[in-house]
A and B are shown apart, each in its own frame.
Chain A
Amino acid sequence: MTAIQPPLSMLLELTHRCPLQCPYCSNPLELARADHELPTETWCDVITQGAEMGMLQVHFSGGEPAARTDLEDLLAHTKAKGLYTNLITSGVGLKPARLARLVALGLDHVQLSLQDAYMKEADRIAGLKGAFATKQAFAAEIIEAGLALTINLVVHRHNITRVGAMIELADAMGAQRVEVAHTQYYGWGLANRAALMPTREEVETALGVVETVRAHYRGRMRIDHVIPDYYADRPKACMGGWAQRFLVIDPSGDVLPCHAAKSLPGLTFDNVREKRLSDIWTGGAAFEAYRGTQWMPMPCRDCDRREIDWGGCRCQAFALTGDAAAVDPACGLSPRHATVRDLATSEAAAPPPPFRYRRMTR
């Protein structure tokens, strides 16, 4: 067995506080409260450790990372360590003066979410009136500052027919990259699956639109496209493979192989307050559990794609089969594949139930 390579990047969920309430949020249903968040010095120490391990990029995420008043300190520290920095933001609540400070500190890139091409619909999905207009103004500030901008479009049954208009809007906002992300059904997305699931026909039309406009934006705006699992034939290489290149640290300091890993039963997660990040990466039980190909069931273990898709997604396998080590049902070779398609088809055919908005329980 070859030595374990360090991850390329880490995503820091600085907080679960967020002004938006998107019903497909990747955060867990049980959101961490502010008094459980790591203090500034612990985050800085974690970033130092990441740089020493050989990581290249740090993603500041949440919740809304700007809800942390020490975001500037964390960014300055990360730049001092020579790492590439990415701010994944709602764009709501980040005032121009503060953005200017982040730019001056060397912020490299911003990823901004956009909920819909239409204001009223976008605000309804975000659960916040005025969010759409605020995001438009924020994007203009990003471009004015000369920063690189990615617009993240989460696609579901309420906006999928407008995917072309959303891409057009992203271009008008000045994005050089757009991420068309069909909803992933974990956490809040899973809780809202029936409210979000599009039909197969809608998905196929949207895939066609994206492929058609891709050539139009060549050399101007790159389009990354995350294919919807429930209508796929082969699973995605989730996280580029479990514990291969990426880790997530949640607001409390637990280190996770992916955003949704806490949904898996039986895994224990180490915390940066107690262990070194490099020890957690190379020897932590949660990382060891599904790293590589040893854990794989048949037919994954013999599959010639086993080191391409790395067995797909463990959280999805668990959500759909109750067994985290099962074949990902997104794969056509899973015995559950047809069942999952039928499930998606029937949910999409029924009228959408109301959203269960992402909120902290009081």
Chain B
Amino acid sequence: MSAPALTGASRPRLARGVKRDIDKARGTPILQAPERVLVLDEVADAILQRCDGAASVAEIALDLAAIYHAPRETIEADMLELLEDLLEKGYVQA
């Protein structure tokens, strides 16, 4: 039973064993995951910081739209693309 496609109403969270962290040696935000490390850019880090299983994608997009002065729709579309990829790879659950 595969997970349904993510929408604005999805409430994503980091999968078990996945943690946001800072790679001090390389000076970049990362996701620590089972036997893997994913290097994040600032935007991805800002998104994942808010993925707590309570906030919806739409709510997070609204929040980020204010911070980055960008249209909410654009941010939501970018978020869904990123989160689908991370869900596929097991970093994120919804």
Contact = CB atoms under 8 A, between A and B. Distances in A.
A56 B15 contact: no
Identify which of B17, B26, B87, B89 gathers the most chain A CB atoms within 10 Å of its CB. Answer: B17
Interface string B25-48: 110001010110100000000000
Interface residues of A, number: 28
Given A176-B17, A219-B87, A222-B90, A54 B23 contact: yes
A84 B32 contact: yes
Contacts of A333: none
Interface string A217-254: 11111100000000000000000000000000000000
Given A56-B23, A84-B21, A218-B87, A111 B34 contact: yes
Contacts of B21: 56, 84
B84 to A, nearest CB: 9
A147 interface: yes
A311 B3 CA distance: 38
Given A54-B24, A218-B87, A146 B16 contact: yes
Nearest to B89: A222
B74 interface: no
B34 A8 contact: no
A150 B94 CA distance: 19
Contact of B15 (A9, A57, A176, A216): A176
B53 to A, nearest CB: 14
A148 B87 contact: no
A315 B15 CA distance: 35
Given A147-B16, A148-B15, A176-B16, A219 B34 contact: no
Given A54-B25, A150-B34, A219 B17 contact: no
A218 B88 contact: yes
B37 A56 contact: yes
A219 B94 contact: yes
A218 B2 contact: yes
| Range, interface on chain B | 20 to 34
Nearest to B25: A54
A2 to B, nearest CB: 13
B17 A108 contact: yes
B56 interface: no
A86 B35 contact: yes
A111 B35 contact: yes
B2 A57 contact: no
B16 A220 contact: no
A59 interface: yes
A217 B2 CA distance: 5
B25 A86 contact: no
Interface in B27-80: 30, 32, 34-35, 37
Contacts of B9: none
Contacts of A56: 21, 23, 30, 32, 37
6 contacts: A56-B32, A147-B17, A148-B17, A148-B18, A216-B2, A217-B2
Interface of B: 1-3, 15-19, 21, 23-26, 30, 32, 34-35, 37, 87-90, 93-94
Interface of A: 6, 8-9, 53-54, 56-57, 59, 84, 86, 108-109, 111, 146-150, 176-177, 215-222
Given A9-B37, A176-B15, 17 more contacts: A53-B25, A54-B26, A56-B21, A56-B23, A57-B35, A84-B19, A84-B21, A109-B34, A147-B17, A148-B15, A148-B18, A218-B3, A219-B2, A219-B3, A219-B88, A219-B94, A222-B90
